Every structure is written in C-alpha cells, then in structure tokens.
Structure 1
Amino acid sequence: MSSPLDHIFIPVAILLLFSKKLKLNQREVIALSFFAVLPDIDSIFFSSNGISLHRVLFHNIFIVIIPLLFFMFAKSKREVFGIIIFYLTSHLILDLFTGGIFLFYPVYNKVFFAHVELLLSHGSFVPALEYGISNRIMNNGIGAPAVSSENVAFVILLAICAAISAIAFHRKTE
C-alpha cells in the first residue's frame, strides 16, 4: 500500500520537475501538497457494523469532480485547481496499483485494481500482471519486486505530465 509519504513525494516531485515547462508556481505546488493525502481522510470512518471505509468514501472519481468543475469554469486560479486535480488523481492511481479502489463508489460498489511487478526469481525476471474488478481490496503481490506497482503508477503519472508538457509546448510554438 502506498504510504502518505509516497502520496505526497511522488506527485510533488513530478510537478516540480515539470513546473517550469507548465509554468507552475513552485510555492503553490508545495502548499497544495496536502491534497495528495486528502483521500485518506476516509480511513477515520467506519460503517455501522464496524467495517473501515478506507479506500471507499473518498477513493473514487467523484472526489475530483468539484475541483474539475472549478478548473473548467473559473477564470482565475486555474493553476491551483489543476494542481489539486493532479494530486487527487495521483492518489487514486497510486492506490489503484496498490490494492485497488472503489473507483465509482457509491454508484458501483466494486474495487478496481491493477497490480504489476517484475519479480526476480531464481536469477531471472518474471513479469506479474493482475488487473480487474473485485468485491474487496486486493492483497499485494508475492516475492520481492524489482519493479513494483508504485513504480508503474509513477511512470504513468510521469507520462501524463510529459504529455501535458508536450501539449503546452506545442500550443506555445503555434
């Protein structure tokens, strides 16, 4: 499972890496970083029968909708809402790759998960890929991963930033 440090460090590092190309205020990137762990606030809630609601209440796409609406319709502070959207989305992606999330809760009460590893076994690398929809949060892999699900999620987030950067650069040169 991703730690709060992973949830903060990975997206902050990505945004700081691309801050000049995306013309992001580095102070805002740091100041807004608490949004990267905001979905984990659901870890303090429990159902009436004592079951934890962690990765349920705020680990879904609906947590991104309000900042997305502000991003789309607000004339000012679009950069701020873009950063918030990136932080919230990065949290969902990291947790999707580390046990899964209730992506469409409360509309659809199933866990979406993806698990990718490159295991080192008897001197050779063995790829392990598992993804799907489940009734429960999945257990994390077996063995000692040389490439973990968090690493794959990091690459996806990096690719998203690279694509956004390329689009911004392309628009600038037109």
Structure 2
Amino acid sequence: MSSLFNHIFIPITILLIFSKRLSIHPKNIILLSFFGILPDADIFLFHRATLHNIFILIVPILIFIFMTDMREVSGIICFYLGSHLLLDIFDGGIFLLYPFYNGIFYSVIELIFEKGMKFNIGISNDFIDMSQIGEPMISSENFGVAILLLIVILISIIIKREDIKKKKKT
C-alpha cells in the first residue's frame, strides 16, 4: 500500500470530495500534493523514522494556529502528512515518536478467508511483515483508508452543524 500513488491519490481524492464543503481551493489541493510523499524522503536517512513521526506536523500546525491567512495551505499540508503517517501505520508501522522513542507503532487488521479475524495493535522493535497465508477480505491498508474517510466525514458533519447553529442565531 505504501506507494506514491496511494499517498497522493487517496488524500487528493478525499480533499477534492470535501473541498467545497470545507472551502478549500482545488488548485491548492493539487499544488500541495507533494506533501503526501514528503515523509518518504527519509528513505535516504533512517526510513520510517526521520520524517515518519508526529513531529513533522509541528510546523504546519503552528502555522495553522498563529497565521490565520495561511490556514488553508497549512491545513492541507497537515492532512497530507497526517494521512501518510496513518496509512503507513497500517502498512508495517512507523517510528511515531522518533527520536524520543524508538518503538515502531503499527496496526494489523485483517479478515483472512482461512483463519478468521486478526486484530493487532502495538509497538514493536521491528517492522511488521504484512504478508499472510490466505487471501484477506479486509486488510490493514484498507482499514487505514477507511479511517481517513471517516475522519474527514466527521469533520464535515461538525462544520455543517456549526453552520446550522450560526444560521439559527441570525
């Protein structure tokens, strides 16, 4: 699942679907899409650690909080970076708290035809081998995509409720 296609296509699709509702300009979604693969630049350093941790989100979050004129851009960047981390957690794991903690955070959720449901969340000293015996009906990678979609839907519902409350007050 960890591929150039998925780290760009999935977030772009989600953002474009909700762009009107979230008042996001589609041009910015496309132009900033390279942030979807930026964490993989650490392949030349310590892969899935150097840029695959929550600390990569600090600068865009601070920009979002303190520079109100940059909220759209920093929000899009946060979504791309955050979606990359979430998708990789379901594809072998990432060093989420690196350099302060060297454990690999991962999640494995699969429904195998031959074995039944497998659910495993944890911290490991090594990446998780995602290959299984049997054909998965539900895989960890797809579960990660589903979580991303649910988060965006939840945000959209919250924004819609706030809009309804504002209209009732006026």
The TM tier, using the shorter chain, reads over 0.9
Identical-pair percentage: 49
Aligned residues: 164
Task: Indicate which of 81, 88, 95 corresponds to 1:88.
Answer: 81
Task: Indicate which of 117, 120, 123 corresponds to 1:133.
Answer: 123
Report the AA paired with residue 120 of structure 2.
E
Q: 1:108 Cα shift?
A: 0.7
Alignment of 1:1-174 (within 5 A): 1-45=1-45, 53-121=46-114, 126-142=116-132, 143-174=134-165
CA-to-aligned-CA distance 1:91-148 (integer Å, 9 cap, x gap):
0000000000000000111100001112122xxx721111100111111140322222
Distance in 2 separating the partners of 1:15 and 1:27:
11
Report the AA paired with residue 160 of structure 2.
F
Query: Which runs of at least 4 in structure 1 moved beyond 4 Å after TM superposition?
Result: none
CA-to-aligned-CA distance 1:47-74 (integer Å, 9 cap, x gap):
xxxxxx1101000000001100000110
Q: 1:31 Cα shift?
A: 0.9
The Cα RMSD (Å) is 1.1
Q: Normalised by the size of structure 2, how large is the TM-score?
A: 0.93
Q: 1:5 Cα shift?
A: 0.8
Unmatched runs of 5 consecutive residues or more in structure 1: 46-52
DSSP 3-state at the match of 2:49: coil
DSSP 3-state at the match of 2:21: helix
Q: Normalised by the size of structure 1, how large is the TM-score?
A: 0.91
Q: 1:38 Cα shift?
A: 0.3
